[in-house]
Amino acid sequence: MRTVQNYFLLTLICLTGLLQAAPYNIGVIPKSTAMKFWEEVREGAKTAGEELDANVIWSGPRQENQSQAGYIKRMLKTELINAIVIAPSHQTELQLVLQDVINQNIKLVVIDSAINDVNYDSFIATDNYRAGTKAADFMAKFLGENSNVAVIRFRKGNASTEARETGFIHTLKNNVKVNIVFEDYLGPSTGSVYHEVIKLLNARHNIDGFFTPNEATTEGLLRAIYKIETTKVPVIIGFDSNEFLDEGLKKNMLKGLVVQQPFQMGYLGVKTAVSLLKGKKVKKKIFLPTKVITASDLIQKEQSINSQ
Q: How confident is the model at residue 21 (pLDDT cuts 50, 70, 90)?
A: low
Q: In the predicted model, what is the mean pLDDT of the chain? A: 91
Cα distance between residue 169 and residue 128, in whole Å = 13
Exposed e or buried b per residue across 108-137, where buried means at least 16 C-beta atoms within 10 angstroms of its C-beta: bbbbbbbbeebebbbbbbbbbbbbbbbbbb
Domain spans in the chain, listed from the N-terminal domain onward = 2-127+261-289, 128-259+296-301
Name the residue type at position 105.
N
Strand partners, 28: 58, 85
Integer-rounded Cα radius of gyration of the chain: 21
Q: Are strands 291-293 and 256-259 parallel, antiparallel or unpaired?
A: antiparallel
Cα distance between residue 298 and residue 247, in whole Å = 9
Tens of pLDDT, residue by residue over 225-279, are 999 977 788 999 999 999 999 999 999 999 999 999 999 999 999 999 999 999 9
Name the residue type at position 293.
I
The residue among 294, 196, 281 whose CA lies nearest residue 245 is 294
Strand order across the 209-211 sheet: 179-185, 148-153, 209-211, 235-239, 256-259, 291-293
Q: How confident is the model at residue 299 (pLDDT cuts 50, 70, 90)?
A: confident
Question: Is 260 in contact with 290 (CB distance < 8 Å)?
Answer: yes
- What's the mean pLDDT in 5-22? 45
The helix-helix angle for 262-277 and 36-52 (nearest 10°) equals 40
Lowest mean pLDDT: which of 107-121, 153-167, 171-185? 171-185
CB proximity list for 114: less than 8 A, separation 6 or greater: 88, 91, 123, 125, 159, 160, 163
Task: Give 20-61 as a DSSP string.
Answer: HTSSEEEEEE-S-SSSHHHHHHHHHHHHHHHHHTEEEEE---
Percentage of the chain beyond pLDDT 70 is 92
| pLDDT value at residue 79 | 67
Class of the CATH domain delimited by 2-127+261-289: alpha beta
The residue among 94, 72, 99 whose CA lies nearest residue 84 is 72
Tens of pLDDT, residue by residue over 112-122, are 999 999 999 99
Omega before residue 289 within 30° of 0, cis: no
Tens of pLDDT, residue by residue over 200-218, are 999 988 999 999 999 999 9
Cα distance between residue 103 and residue 97, in whole Å = 10
Percentage of the chain beyond pLDDT 90 is 82
CATH architecture of 128-259+296-301: 3-Layer(aba) Sandwich (3.40)
Q: Is the dihedral of CA 243, 91, 95, 22 positive or negative?
A: positive
